[in-house]
Structure formats: structure tokens, C-alpha cells
Amino acid sequence: MNYYQTLSTSKDSKFDRTSNKSIHKDIRNFVLCIQGKFVASYNLTSQNLLLKIVAIGQLGKFTLHFLIYKLVIVKLFQKGRLHLFY
């Protein structure tokens, strides 16, 4: 079981199905990793971040690491489902 599987099955994890408000308004930068490889970092507002997620969703399954007060792992799947784990 890798780190992401462990995190996603953790009893401490929270999954928000209802609102994009889970993506903090204050996000300024994040690191995009695809299949464990560092791809790029961005300096974005939350609105631009949502647009970027939609744009790169075509790539399929990937993981975003948010560099904020606490680590937020976001798993986005090609079919448009967004999973937030805290």
C-alpha cells in the first residue's frame, strides 16, 4: 500500500462530495505530480486553480499537492470526479 492509498483510507481523512468550497480561497501555489514525477508548480488564485484543474483533467488520473497550512491531497479523475483528502 503506497502513501496515497494509506492516506485515502485513513480514518482521519475527510471526503467532501458537496462543495468546491473545500478548496481554500487562499491557495497561492501547488505542485502538480503525475505518476509520482514532479511536473510543474503554479502560483494561482482558487478561481484560476479550478480552471487549471478542468484544463488538465484531460490528462487522466493525477495527484495535486497543495502547499498551504496543511497538506491537502487532491485526486482528480478523468471522468470529472474530485476527491479531497485532508
Q: Quick one: pLDDT at residue 3?
A: 39
The pLDDT value recorded for residue 53 is 52
Residue that is written with C-alpha cell 470526479 in the block:
81
Cα 20 to Cα 78: distance, rounded to the nearest angstrom: 17
pLDDT digits (tens, 9 = 90+) for 4-50: 433 333 333 344 344 444 444 444 445 554 444 444 454 545 545 55
Query: Which DSSP category does 58 fall into?
Result: G
At residue 74 the predicted structure's pLDDT band, cuts being 50, 70 and 90, is: very low
Name the pLDDT band for 73 (thresholds 50, 70, 90). very low
Residue 76: its pLDDT value, please? 43
In 10 A of CB 23, how many CB atoms?
A: 20
Q: How far apart are CA 76 and CA 34, in angstroms?
A: 11
pLDDT at 1: 36
Identity of residue 84 = L
**52 pLDDT higher than 50:** yes
Cα-to-chain-centroid distance, residue 9: 16
